[in-house]
Structure 1
Amino acid sequence: MHGTKLTRSALFIAAGLVLPLLLHSLGAAGSIFLPMHIPILLAGLWLGPDCGLTVGVITPALSSLLTGMPPLLPILPLMLAELTVYGWCSGYLYRCWHCSLWLSLITAMLAGRLASLFLLAFGAEALGIRIPVWSYVAGGLITGLPGIVIQLVLIPAIMKRIVV
């Protein structure tokens, strides 16, 4: 990874750690506003799939270790799957396939949620745990709807400002 990309990736990781802490200190729930998602999606879109993937793996893992958010089990593995796919997919579509920003962003958001759902469905089955997968999906979409809207408004606006 190039030095500039490494530095920018570190800044996105830092933002992914600070934004949730800031929201929680103001009394806002991370599961509603999804503050960690924004820097990871931006890292993929701006820096490419390698950096997006790296930021998507390191940010939630480091946050869990340092702050306990997300909880190690059962949420961290689901967030790792979702956010790693966010970072990689957004960068791959936007930087490698040259898809539009909107297509890259929305596809990455859907693919990340599918990765999380896949892990939940098959991981729970492998452990013999019966989890109502569709209620998890519906709950996550309804709860996270404000965050999804924020991502769809904020990320394109930020990308217009930072990408030359």
Structure 2
Amino acid sequence: MTTTKNQTKKLVFSALMLATALLLPFLTGQIPQVGSMLAPMHIPVLLCGLVCGAPYGLAVGLIAPGLRFLMFSMPPIFPVGLAMTFELAAYGLVAGLLYRTLPKKASSLYISLIGAMLAGRCVWGIAMTVIAAVSAVPFNLTIFLSGAFATALPGIVLHLVLIPPVALALQKAGFVID
């Protein structure tokens, strides 16, 4: 396939994933006490990184939280939206980088996904540490561990169960864009 067609496919898929990142929180937000823990905006960003590559995943991750705030006033831009912007950008970037580097096997998909989730959570922790240092937002190791892993457990499980089959189906359909 020509480079122009690949770029067009990547751009269209990225736009679709950005739109999905804006809309998915409406579905999960209806589930009391669990909706935000499912981290719905993370799913399309991770898929974009896996399917289109690191630059597109990075771009969708950078744009999604701020655009969603401008359109729907959620997530609150400070501190949640700001930290989430860096986190999602890391998700898309690392998912794309790892998946392109590793051999094209199902295990590589899981390694890329887990690596991206760990990197994103570390970036979120760094962003929150900086935000806490320059503002009155409380943040410490306990809050980091709780927010990054304990309360995020439903989202982590959902991502590990949902994203690999979708990515593999896209790959089998010839939609993963090299």
Question: TM-score w.r.t. structure 1 length?
Answer: 0.91
Q: What whole-Å deviation, never above 9, does each CA across 1:71-125 have from its counterpart, x for those lacking one?
A: 0111011100100000011001102x12511111111100011011111113322
Q: Is the partner of 1:74 in helix, strand or coil? A: helix
Distance 1:19 1:28 in 2: 16
C-alpha separation between the residues in 1 aligned to 2:33 and 2:11? Answer: 30
Structure 1: where are the runs of 5+ without partners?
none
Alignment partners' CA distance in 1, 2:144 and 2:31: 27
Q: CA deviation at 1:25?
A: 3.7
* Aligned positions of 1:124-163 closer than 5 A: 124-125=132-133, 127=134, 129=136, 131-140=138-147, 141-163=149-171
Q: Shift in Å at residue 69 of structure 1?
A: 1.5
Q: What's the Cα RMSD here? A: 1.8
Instruction: Specify the alignment match of 2:38 in structure 1.
Output: 33
SS in 2 for 1:9: helix
- Whether the 8 Å contact between 1:9 and 1:55 is mirrored in structure 2 is yes
Distance 1:158 1:28, change over 3 A: farther
Equivalent of 1:113, from 94, 110, 121?
Answer: 121
Q: Would the aligned equivalents of 2:58 and 2:90 in 1 still touch at CA under 8 Å? A: yes
Tell me the TM-score normalized by structure 2: 0.84
Once the two structures are TM-superposed, the CA of residue 28 in structure 1 deviates from its matched residue by 5.9
Residue 70 of structure 1: SS of its match in structure 2? coil
Equivalent of residue 72 in structure 1, options 77, 101, 104: 77
Quick one: structure 1 residues 69 and 94, their matched pair in 2 at CA, closer, same or farther if it must change by over 3 Å? same
> In the comparison of the two structures, how many residue pairs are matched?
162
Q: Determine the C-alpha separation between the residues in 2 that align with 1:150 and 1:162.
A: 18
Percent pairwise identity: 41
Distance 1:128 1:18 in 2: 30
Letter in 1 for 2:124: S
1:12-49 per-position Cα deviation (integer Å, ceiling 9, x unaligned)? 00111111012224546442111110000000001100
Partner of 1:48 in structure 2?
Answer: 53
In the alignment, the residues of structure 2 paired with residue 159 and residue 2 of structure 1 have an alpha-carbon distance, to the nearest angstrom, of 19
- Tell me which amino acid in the other structure corresponds to 2:143: Y
Aligned mates of 1:17, 1:70 — CA distance in 2: 10
